[in-house]
């Protein structure tokens, strides 16, 4: 039972420990799950508002500012609107798959939060294989999207489903490989352990790993420039084209939940998680999560989309070799230079990253042949 | 093992975010690769050519606004050029200069939209488009100043223009023209050195020189394929023989070249407007024509270089106040005929980019 930690004692020092709770372990587990759900939903709404406002600034617009102060209640209005919409099921759809798909998509997305440490020890469960659990769970989400694509009996949705399988499966591999780099440095698979092991954020020790993880994560959650899944100019809305009302809301929530999860994982693995001076750890965690998400929005607001074959080529020809090289270098550093000062490693790794990226951009082009500007 | 695969039909349009209005493509797909494309249009057909036969020559001006609604001013221009050719009307010099300024401003505005929507089709989520809207707004403000309208201008008249520009117009135009090149450079810097943009546009949708000519393509689509053909040079109308400007051409005829040609043409238009502003003199803006305008029996085809290509009107007069036949050469429709050739064998994503690079306006395709 000792692996289960409690958020409440961490937030309020006076709260009783799990073992003292009436109803014991299960009662406190259920309370935590409720807290986590509320957190995820509120964060998703905050992210929706944040994205809309930030992207408006990029696009010389103002963004939602009518409902509530600074338009803060806009997500609430959106939710109400979406929930009172008619739920349409296409006549020829596979009714069961069509119904189950949103649930199959959102469940793994929320399950990821079980192991995210919001502050020292404040996670639902501090699994000793935390990061492995995340890698395993986050790829399950795809099944929901494929079910939606197939179950809608719509050609656009089907194309989208085929794209998402190919894309997500490809990007899992470099993603998992660079995570091993982090694990080699920290010596633990536990998420809280990884944060505690970071005397300096791993983005400094693993710059190449961060870049690869960030790009692979964007592909994983289908963000521009890898938003093959719902490329609105090509396949309209992709897998969720036949969804409306509450089911659509669930898909929308999935998308943002995954974005929060990815931001939180990047924060934990590379940015030192809840660590930081002066401010309370939870605040540091949230600030970092929002900073990562702002970076994702920035990319979305700027770049055009790649084509599906280019996306796949990028994963296999560029990300995978670089991830393997990153793993090799990290392993060598951990085995042969364990006593070297961290700051020497920081400088060395930044130089190596620069060289590798320049080299790769010299002889690798997304289409395979050289492009003259 | 040999997989048994089937092609399937995908309906892109008429309600589709990338079909720029209500154009429909029946795509036969093998996976993501397009095997065949059948264009379906006519969803926006309003029968303007037939309607025009029932109205007088000057009443028909309003219809021209509603053809290519992103470039109403050049439609006006093409129509008045044709009517004046039919009736042999002379136009005062100041009116001609004003027409040239308006037509070139319209060309910049239309090209901004073309480039913006192309980038949008490539998946750049609205940002470049909205920046281009910002510049277009400034041009629309100028049009608002001269004729009180922002979309359907109805500015030109047979034998001149409807009204002279207000005093503050030329200084405002000068300010705009001075600032525009900087903004155009800004967009280029943002996107033209971007690897994603390059791989998405280079060698995509290549239209060869011969094919472009045999499909009778015109405008930036033709010039991107390397044919130096611009009505302003080839058959100068209005005052275009007085201005110095280049005709930018591409080399390969791919999406990238069509994009580059449009950007280069905007710079040329700016240069033409600058020259026109230096040369313009005060004077008459309207030739007196009889209230009931009846051209002599005959026919005429007048054409101009519109933003989207050769824009012409074929008019037949039977001597009455209404045209006997009122026919338009719509560059959007004729450029679109090459689309099937370009789409076969490419992926859906590229299909949208190619379609966007042709730059059609469905109001003109369907009439």
Q: Which domains does chain B have, with CATH numbers?
A: 1-43 (no CATH), 48-329+348-366 (1.10.645.10)
Q: Do A373 and B198 touch (CB under 8 A)?
A: yes
Q: Does the pLDDT of residue A13 top 80, yes or no?
A: no
- Pick from B17, B194, B195: which is nearest to A233 by CB? B17
Q: Do A305 and B32 touch (CB under 8 A)?
A: no
Helices within A306-341 (DSSP H only): 308-313, 320-336
Residue that is written with structure tokens 């403000």 in the block: B141
Whether A110 is in a domain gets the answer yes
- In chain B, residues with a C-beta closer than 8 Å to the C-beta of A371 are 195, 198-199, 202
Whether A194 is in a domain gets the answer yes
Concatenated DSSP letters of B208-241: -HHHHHHTT--THHHHHTT----HHHHS--TTGG
Task: For residue A321, give its domain range.
Answer: 85-363
Residue B10 contacts A where some CB pair is shorter than 8 Å: yes
Number of structural domains found in chain A: 1
Q: Please tell me the distance from the alpha carbon of residue A71 to that of residue A294, in angstroms, as a whole number.
A: 19
CB-based burial label for A197 (10 Å; 0-12, 13-18, 19+): middle
Residue that is written with structure tokens 């223009």 in the block: B161
- State the pLDDT confidence band at A363, using cuts at 50, 70 and 90: low
Here the tokens at position A248 are 């659509």
- In chain A, residues with a C-beta closer than 8 Å to the C-beta of B18 are 233-234
Integer distance in angstroms from the first to the last C-alpha of chain A?
61
Higher pLDDT, A15 or A155: A155
Whether A62 is in a domain gets the answer no
Considering chain B, what percentage of its residues have pLDDT values greater than 70?
99
Here the tokens at position B197 are 């943009």
- Give B110-114's long-range contacts (Cβ < 8 A, gap of 24+): B110/B68, B110/B70, B110/B71, B110/B74, B110/B307, B110/B308, B110/B359, B111/B220, B111/B262, B111/B263, B111/B265, B111/B266, B111/B269, B111/B307, B112/B136, B112/B266, B113/B70, B114/B220, B114/B262, B114/B307, B114/B308, B114/B359
Q: Please tell me the distance from the alpha carbon of residue A208 to that of residue A322, in angstroms, as a whole number.
A: 8
Dump pLDDT digits (tens) for A174-232.
988 999 888 888 888 888 888 888 888 888 888 888 989 998 888 888 887 788 777 77
Whether A12 is in a domain gets the answer no
Cβ atoms of B206 and B254 within 8 Å: the answer is yes
- Pick from B134, B192, B202: which is nearest to A60 by CB? B134
- State the pLDDT confidence band at A364, using cuts at 50, 70 and 90: low
Dump pLDDT digits (tens) for B224-267.
888 888 888 888 888 888 888 888 888 888 888 888 888 888 88
- State the pLDDT confidence band at A34, using cuts at 50, 70 and 90: confident
| Degrees, nearest 5: CA angle A39-B125-B260 | 160
Give A192→chain B minimum CA distance, Å: 37
Whether A99 is in a domain gets the answer yes
Q: Does the pLDDT of residue A9 top 80, yes or no?
A: no
Residue B349 contacts A where some CB pair is shorter than 8 Å: yes
At residue A10, the pLDDT reads 46
Integer distance in angstroms from the first to the last C-alpha of chain B?
52
Give B85→chain A minimum CA distance, Å: 43
Q: Please tell me the distance from the alpha carbon of residue B295 to that of residue B318, in angstroms, as a whole number.
A: 8
Whether A153 is in a domain gets the answer yes
At residue A22, the pLDDT reads 59
A-to-B residue pairs, Cβ atoms closer than 8 angstroms:
90
- Pick from B124, B202, B348: which is nearest to A235 by CB? B348
Considering chain B, what percentage of its residues have pLDDT values greater than 90?
1
Looking at this predicted complex, what is its ipTM? 0.79
Dump pLDDT digits (tens) for A118-134.
877 667 777 788 888 88
Q: Do A236 and B16 touch (CB under 8 A)?
A: yes
- Spatial strand order of the sheet with B298-306 comes to B298-306, B309-317, B323-329
Dump pLDDT digits (tens) for B49-98.
888 888 888 888 888 888 888 888 888 889 998 988 888 888 888 888 88
Q: Do B347 and A309 touch (CB under 8 A)?
A: yes
Considering chain A, what percentage of its residues have pLDDT values greater than 90?
2
Considering chain A, what percentage of its residues have pLDDT values greater than 70?
89
Mean pLDDT of A39-65: 87
In terms of Cα–Cα distance, which of A182, A176, A171 is closest to A206? A182
At residue B192, the pLDDT reads 72
3 state SS of A33: helix
3 state SS of A18: helix
Q: Do B123 and A225 touch (CB under 8 A)?
A: yes
Here the tokens at position A275 are 């660590």
Residue A236 contacts B where some CB pair is shorter than 8 Å: yes
Q: Does the pLDDT of residue A16 top 50, yes or no?
A: no
Dump pLDDT digits (tens) for B312-356.
899 998 888 888 988 888 888 888 888 888 888 888 888 888 888
Cis peptide before A171 (omega within 30 of 0): no
Whether A33 is in a domain gets the answer no
Mean pLDDT of A72-83: 87
Q: Does the pLDDT of residue A24 top 80, yes or no?
A: no
At residue A366, the pLDDT reads 55
pTM value is 0.83
Chain A residues 37-66 with a CB less than 8 Å from chain B = 55, 58-61
């Amino acid at each position: 039972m000792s692996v289960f930690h409690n958020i409440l004692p961490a937030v309020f020092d006076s709260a009783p420990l799990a073992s003292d709770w009436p109803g014991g372990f299960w009662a406190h587990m259920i309370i935590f799950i409720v807290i986590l759900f509320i957190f995820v939903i509120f964060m998703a709404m905050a992210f929706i508002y944040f994205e809309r406002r930030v992207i408006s600034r990029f696009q010389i617009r103002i963004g939602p500012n009518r409902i509530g102060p600074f338009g803060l209640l806009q997500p609430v209005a959106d939710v109400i609107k979406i929930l009172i919409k008619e739920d349409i099921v296409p006549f020829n759809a596979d009714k069961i798959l069509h119904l189950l798909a949103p649930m199959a998509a959102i469940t793994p997305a929320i399950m990821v939060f079980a192991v995210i440490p919001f502050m020292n020890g404040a996670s639902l469960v501090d699994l000793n294989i935390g990061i492995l659990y995340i890698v395993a769970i986050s790829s399950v989400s795809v099944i929901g999207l494929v079910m939606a694509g197939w179950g809608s009996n719509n050609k656009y949705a089907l194309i989208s489903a085929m794209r998402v399988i190919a894309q997500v499966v490809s990007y899992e591999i470099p993603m998992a490989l660079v995570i091993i780099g982090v694990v080699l440095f920290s010596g633990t698979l536990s998420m809280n352990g990884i944060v505690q092991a970071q005397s300096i954020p791993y983005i400094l020790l693993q710059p190449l790993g961060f870049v690869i993880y960030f790009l692979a994560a964007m592909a994983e959650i289908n963000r521009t420039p890898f938003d093959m899944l719902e490329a609105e100019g090509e396949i309209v809305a992709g897998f969720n084209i036949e969804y409306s009302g509450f089911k659509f809301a669930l898909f929308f929530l999935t998308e943002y939940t995954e974005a929060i999860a990815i931001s939180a994982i990047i924060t934990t693995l590379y940015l030192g998680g809840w660590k930081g001076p002066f401010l309370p750890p939870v605040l540091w965690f949230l600030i970092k999560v929002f900073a990562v998400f702002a970076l994702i929005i920035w990319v979305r607001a700027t770049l055009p989309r790649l084509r599906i074959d280019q996306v796949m080529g990028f994963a296999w020809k560029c990300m995978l070799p670089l991830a393997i090289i990153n793993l090799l270098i990290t392993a060598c550093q951990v085995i042969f230079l364990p006593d070297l000062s961290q700051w020497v490693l920081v400088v060395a790794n930044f130089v190596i990253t620069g060289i590798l990226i320049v080299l790769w951009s010299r002889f690798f082009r997304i289409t395979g042949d050289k492009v003259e500007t | 093992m040999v997989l048994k695969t089937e092609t399937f039909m995908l309906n892109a349009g008429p309600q589709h975010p990338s079909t720029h209005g209500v154009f429909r493509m029946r795509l036969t797909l093998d996976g993501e690769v397009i095997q065949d494309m059948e264009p379906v249009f006519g969803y926006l057909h309003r029968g303007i050519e037939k309607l025009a036969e029932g109205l007088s020559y000057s009443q028909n001006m309003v219809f021209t606004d509603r053809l290519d609604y992103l470039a109403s001013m050049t439609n006006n221009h093409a129509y008045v050029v044709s009517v004046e050719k039919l009736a042999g009307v002379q136009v005062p010099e100041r009116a001609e200069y004003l027409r040239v300024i308006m037509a070139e401003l319209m060309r910049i505005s239309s090209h901004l939209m073309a480039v913006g929507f192309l980038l949008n089709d490539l998946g750049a989520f609205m940002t470049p488009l909205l920046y281009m809207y910002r510049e277009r707004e400034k041009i629309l403000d100028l049009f608002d100043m001269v004729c009180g309208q922002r979309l359907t201008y109805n500015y030109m008249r047979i034998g001149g223009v409807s009204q002279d520009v207000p005093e503050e117009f030329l200084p405002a135009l000068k300010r705009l023209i001075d600032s525009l090149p900087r903004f155009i450079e800004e967009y280029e810097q943002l996107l033209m050195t971007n690897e994603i943009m390059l791989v998405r546009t280079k060698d995509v949708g290549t239209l060869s020189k011969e094919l472009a000519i045999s499909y009778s393509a015109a405008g930036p689509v033709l010039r991107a394929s390397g044919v130096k053909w611009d009505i302003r040079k080839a058959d100068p109308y209005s005052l275009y023989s007085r201005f110095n400007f280049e005709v930018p051409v591409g080399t390969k005829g791919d999406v990238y070249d069509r994009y580059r040609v449009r950007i280069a043409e905007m710079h040329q238009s700016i240069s033409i407007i600058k020259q026109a502003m230096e040369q313009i003199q005060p004077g008459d803006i309207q030739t007196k024509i009889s209230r009931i305008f009846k051209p002599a029996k005959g026919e005429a085809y007048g054409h101009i270089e519109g933003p989207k290509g050769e824009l012409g009107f074929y008019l037949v007069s039977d001597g009455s106040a209404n045209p006997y036949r009122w026919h338009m050469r719509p560059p959007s429709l004729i450029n679109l005929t090459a689309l099937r050739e370009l789409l076969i064998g490419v992926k859906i994503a590229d299909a949208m980019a190619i379609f966007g690079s042709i730059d059609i306006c469905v109001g003109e395709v369907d009439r």
